[in-house]
Structure 1
């Protein structure tokens, strides 16, 4: 810098700057206080007095990264009514979880958990139990104590059987057991699930439709795809509220005439290679959307399937008849 150059030095009223930062500091402290209160009241940080603090992480962790017993690194409380965990190496439920019996929802997936905890029966307020894609081999009989349960998803685990006590969960509305591979039957006691509207037992080893399923009088969606069915029972019209039926990727050669008697039926999805007989009334009914899947046409089918059922919770309303085929 030359000797004739001037150095311009900005001059500010520091009291004004101080005022701005005091406001910011105040807001920051308020946010910190609210965050601490939220953590203390959350499902992942609450613990009863006198139980000690071992394994329970406090508010020094970033929001959304609370740790339960140091083993839920990706768990997150949704309000104070649920616990969530996904994609961890967790192998068991932490014992500290038993002190949070006020929980209404569990969402635990993609872990290495092999069994549900022995204190499960304490969660009498639980309405949602979402535990898909783990390594769970058995459902304990205590699951029947969850009287408030409305939704159960144990898809893509390692179940080979379902306990009859599940039939005691009479408020259950949605049951998903897809992809357990060794599952081939359901206990008759599940006939008590009169509120069930959604049953998914796809991708298993069912050789016939479970008798209990035909007694679920309010059933609206039944997914039996990717099993070992060779026929459908002639009394399927017992399901008078059924609107959507998936039976593709089985060994069916015909669809029973009784399906045409189900006035609520709006969609039937079946595989076409072995299917040689479909009731004429079923084909001509403008209220029924029929999708036929042939081997080798998986891509075309999935496009039609996704466009029709973008949300599996909804029932399709289209009355356009669609037939899909692919010649190799």
Structure 2
């Protein structure tokens, strides 16, 4: 037993995790997803060799303070529990590359989440219900994927523009009324998902997202699109379903790589002439 490096207990009906697991000196990976755990033994914080820990899909309302002593962790999954608070000591997990806190009941995101310099692969904070995120997110300048969907966000911090490595940003099902101008600094962004917010327009800086391929704006009360959208030279998919747009900027007709423009349930006063040209270049127009 002392040579065990990986334990996979996913998808059982466990109600108890034995504390002596922490005594396994070489334990690298512990997977306990999809069980019925209501608590975690504090001794788990002594599993110094642990690099990958999955406790998602249980019934945890909190985790022991000792968990934040596992400073060698590379991935941590606490999703799909009932956790209401994450302490500032999460910032001590400086080797984390992947963090999933989605589908909990978090009231706020700790400022110290910005102290995770190696967080590169993903950060899931979806479906919690918090109303804001800290400006310290901007310090996660190596992060590739950020999911903040299904919360109650009304604004984003200007510092989000400092997340220089971000390639995918998911913000749908919130209450955003505007995007910060700094969004245009996300020069590596390829996907921007904004479905079902309260946006009425976009900042002109949206046109600076030169690598953007997918822009989803459906189910927003959009009243205008800036001409700057026409500068998105790599845009492939533009979703404008169920907006309040009455007209489209002529610059959209010059998008060279557009393959799909979705205008269903958007009542334009008239179809622009350039729609025909887009169809001829192979773009699917859905009306």
Mark yes or no: TM-score above 0.5.
Answer: yes
Match of 1:241 among 150, 174, 188: 188
Say yes or no: does 1:290 pair with 2:252. Answer: no
**SS, match of residue 222 in structure 1:** strand
Say yes or no: does 1:116 pair with 2:63. Answer: yes
Relative contact order, CA 8 A, sep 6+: which one is greater? 2
Task: Mark the runs of 5 or more structure 1 residues left unpaired by the alignment.
Answer: 1-38, 46-62, 297-317
What residue in structure 2 maps to residue 102 of structure 1?
A: 49
User: d(CA) in 2 for partners of 1:137 and 1:88?
Assistant: 19
Match of 2:123 among 154, 175, 178: 175
Say yes or no: does 1:252 pair with 2:199. Answer: yes
What residue in structure 2 maps to residue 136 of structure 1?
A: 83
Deviation (angstroms), 1:285: 4.5
Deviation by residue 1:190-232 (Cα, 9 ceiling, x = unmatched): 3221211211111111111123322212222111111111122
User: d(CA) in 1 for partners of 2:97 and 2:72?
Assistant: 11
Task: Mark the runs of 5 or more structure 2 residues left unpaired by the alignment.
Answer: 244-256, 267-287
Say yes or no: does 1:90 pair with 2:37. Answer: yes
Deviation (angstroms), 1:291: 3.3
Deviation by residue 1:138-188 (Cα, 9 ceiling, x = unmatched): 11121111110111110010111111122211111221100001x111222
User: d(CA) in 1 for partners of 2:220 and 2:148?
Assistant: 22
Deviation (angstroms), 1:272: 4.8
Distance change >3 Å, CA 215–CA 202, structure 1 → 2: same
User: d(CA) in 1 for partners of 2:240 and 2:179?
Assistant: 17
Distance change >3 Å, CA 66–CA 179, structure 1 → 2: closer
User: d(CA) in 1 for partners of 2:143 and 2:60?
Assistant: 27
Say yes or no: does 1:42 pair with 2:4. Answer: yes
**SS, match of residue 109 in structure 1:** coil
What residue in structure 1 maps to residue 261 of structure 2?
A: 322
Higher CA-based Rg: 1
The answer to whether the 8 A contact 2:6-2:28 is kept is no
Deviation (angstroms), 1:289: 2.4
What residue in structure 2 maps to residue 189 of structure 1?
A: 136
What residue in structure 2 maps to residue 305 of structure 1?
A: none
Match of 2:145 among 198, 201, 206: 198
